[in-house]
Chain A
Amino acid sequence: MTTRVKEKSWLHYYLRSTSGVIGAILVFLMVLLSLIAAFKLFPHDPVAQDIENTLKGPSGKYWFGTDQFGRDIFSRCLDGMRRSMIVSIFSVAIATIVGVTLGILGGYFGRWFDSVVVRMSDVIFAFPAILLALAIVNSLGNSWIDTSLAIAVVYTPIFIRVARGPVLSTKEMDYVKSARILGFSSPRILVSHILPNVLAPIVVQIALSLSWAILTESGLSFLGLGTQPPNASLGLMVSDAQALAAFAWWTLAFPSLFITIAVVGLNLVGDGLRDSLDPARRNS
């Protein structure tokens, strides 16, 4: 390449994808609602019971209606979303840091270290995710940190694989070999030559894993692990709604809608990022 054409940024390509933009809007909406909950700006106290107003349908006062204890479902949805967000962000952050580090080191240094890393991720992969998370949450406890750690363990191997693959091919590239011949230190090569090349698939994986983490978190609280009553959690609300949905549809519909919107949004963002970060896919 003699003349350098100014590359369009990935954002340019991202904004061209309709589904990516819709996904970003949905995610932004969910983050906004979580922030409202974080600053306690919801219309009602999510744990305050009101015996005179149990199982009221959606109205001007209670936008999403009330549950069997007269608690405001809209406020509980916001607070539940906030919890799901915290757990999924925290767990995916741990999974990313641990998984990417192990994957890059394993792929780069190879030998026994790589075998151990690959074997470990195979072992964790051989479990159905929810079962693994279930066992771990049970052994740790029900706080949000325990839930996050459990989910982090489940998703770490995915990041190991996503990071390790590109490292294996990148480390044989001429520019990496020449960097090594020039005497660059391993950390320097890893950070400035290898990492940028594995960044794109990792970013995509982060978006997708966030959506799975939300599903796993709500699944765990649905089973009674994770967030404990009276605190609000989307999975727990769906679980409560099992007995109520027949005559109070709003108890089931709204928490379900929140989970679905968050997962759809994150998936669309993941797809959008994949298409915009990968030069080969940009024109399709």
Chain B
Amino acid sequence: MKTNFFFSKLLSVLLTLFGISIFVFVVLRVIPGDTITGTLGTDTGVLSPEQIDVLKQYYGIDKSLFGQYTSWMGSFLKGDLGFSYTTGLSVAKLTQSSLAVTVELAILGTVLGVIMGIAVGMFSARKPGSVRDFAGQLFGLLALAIPGFVLSTTLVAVMANKFHYFPNGLEYMTPWRNPWMNFQQMMFPALVLGIAVAAPVMRTTRSALLETVDKDFVRTAHGKGVPARRVQFKHVLRNSLIPIVTMTGIQFGYLLGGAVIVEKIFALPGMGRQVLDAINHREYATVQSSVMIFAILFVTINLVTDLIYRRIDPRIK
């Protein structure tokens, strides 16, 4: 039963990924202009048809669409993600460093968001309808409504110009080379992403807690004299965890998308920026492979979330 579930899940994930690869491929081919115009710009006009043919062959876009897809997919599966012409590096090499940035950012953002979300959610649910509940809900609403790019822009303006503090203006440091600098560069973008994650986590926590509080076992716990704080954490929160974990998993995925904008504003060399640059340069291979990696991450996270809450809740079979 259990392995069966895992395999059917895995099969559906693989099918989804296959669909994504086709989708990405097709969407990019609809883009007017190709790698040649993307690289040379208006200079393309002076090329002779023969030169264009040679370039097409060079970039591998002279084959049929089916041929292009199979050659891309074939090498992707072998671990060859293609070559980025503008940077002169292989996409695998580019991705190696940029993926680490985005994953670090996403993890920090999620951790911050979950802590804030659960804290505010518990704060709110303690006394529904009170002033503190109102304050908590207002936080949730604003965190949802203020776009990340507004928050980031405000943060940058205040930090850089009022306090003359803008670590992101300096060269990006990996946590291995300079952990303190890395932390400073990650702190604010992670906070921005964290606030976006906190909103839905807060709402989910609040409603899950309110639902659990009315359950008999909570009343029993109170009745037999368990300290209120202990009931709050061990009984109520523990049993509200499933929707919270699910929501966190979903948010982690969306956070990867939010990273596109935040990385651009805070000048972090992550996956989001890599995709954005590649789209602007019409680098099919880079965009396709990067988006595939995004999708693989996203789908894996959903799968893991699914497995985790089967773990937390033995009732789900």
Q: Chain A: residues with CB nearer than 8 A to chain B?
A: 119-120, 122-124, 126-131, 134-136, 138-141, 211, 215, 218-219, 222-223, 235, 238-239, 241-242, 245-247, 252, 256, 259-260, 263-264, 267-268
Is A129 a contact of B257 with CB atoms below 8 Å?
A: yes
Find the B residue at minimum CB distance from A131: B257
Is A238 a contact of B254 with CB atoms below 8 Å?
A: no
A128-B260, A245-B154 known, 17 other contacts, Cβ within 8 Å? A122-B19, A123-B20, A126-B295, A127-B298, A128-B253, A130-B261, A135-B28, A135-B291, A138-B279, A139-B27, A140-B30, A219-B147, A223-B276, A239-B149, A242-B153, A242-B157, A245-B153
Find the B residue at minimum CB distance from A123: B19
Is A246 a contact of B145 with CB atoms below 8 Å?
A: no
Q: Write out the residue numbers on chain A whose beta carbons fall within 8 Å of the beta carbon of B154.
A: 245, 252, 256
Is A122 a contact of B149 with CB atoms below 8 Å?
A: no
Alpha-carbon distance A125/B146, docked complex (angstroms): 23
Residue from A119, A135, A235 having most chain B Cβ neighbours under 10 A: A135
B112 at interface by CB-CB < 8 Å: no
Alpha-carbon distance A223/B277, docked complex (angstroms): 11
Residue from B153, B275, B276 having most chain A Cβ neighbours under 10 A: B153
Interface string of B111-143 (1 = CB under 8 A from A): 000000000000000000000000000000110
Q: Contacts A119-B19, A242-B157, A260-B142; is A139 near B28 (CB within 8 Å)? A: yes
Q: Write out the residue numbers on chain A whose beta carbons fall within 8 Å of the beta carbon of B162.
A: 246
Contacts A/B (CB < 8 Å), 11 sampled: A123-B16, A126-B17, A127-B294, A128-B253, A139-B27, A139-B30, A218-B149, A223-B276, A260-B145, A260-B150, A267-B141
Q: Contacts A131-B260, A245-B157, A252-B157; is A235 near B16 (CB within 8 Å)? A: no
Q: Write out the residue numbers on chain A whose beta carbons fall within 8 Å of the beta carbon of B28.
A: 135, 139
Chain B facing A: main interface SS: helix
Interface string of B154-174 (1 = CB under 8 A from A): 101100111000000000000
Q: Write out the residue numbers on chain A whose beta carbons fall within 8 Å of the beta carbon of B221.
A: none
Find the B residue at minimum CB distance from A130: B257
* Partner among A124, A219, A263, A267 whose Cβ is within 8 Å of the Cβ of B149: A219
Is A264 a contact of B141 with CB atoms below 8 Å?
A: yes
Interface residues of B in 247-286 (CB under 8 A from A): 253-254, 256-258, 260-261, 264-265, 272, 275-276, 279
Alpha-carbon distance A191/B261, docked complex (angstroms): 42
B213 at interface by CB-CB < 8 Å: no
Is A134 a contact of B279 with CB atoms below 8 Å?
A: yes
Alpha-carbon distance A181/B157, docked complex (angstroms): 67
* Partner among A127, A130, A135, A246 whose Cβ is within 8 Å of the Cβ of B157: A246
B233 at interface by CB-CB < 8 Å: no
Find the B residue at minimum CB distance from A242: B153
Q: Contacts A135-B27, A223-B264; is A267 near B153 (CB within 8 Å)? A: no
Alpha-carbon distance A48/B154, docked complex (angstroms): 27
Quote the shortest CB–CB distance from A247 to chain B (angstroms): 7
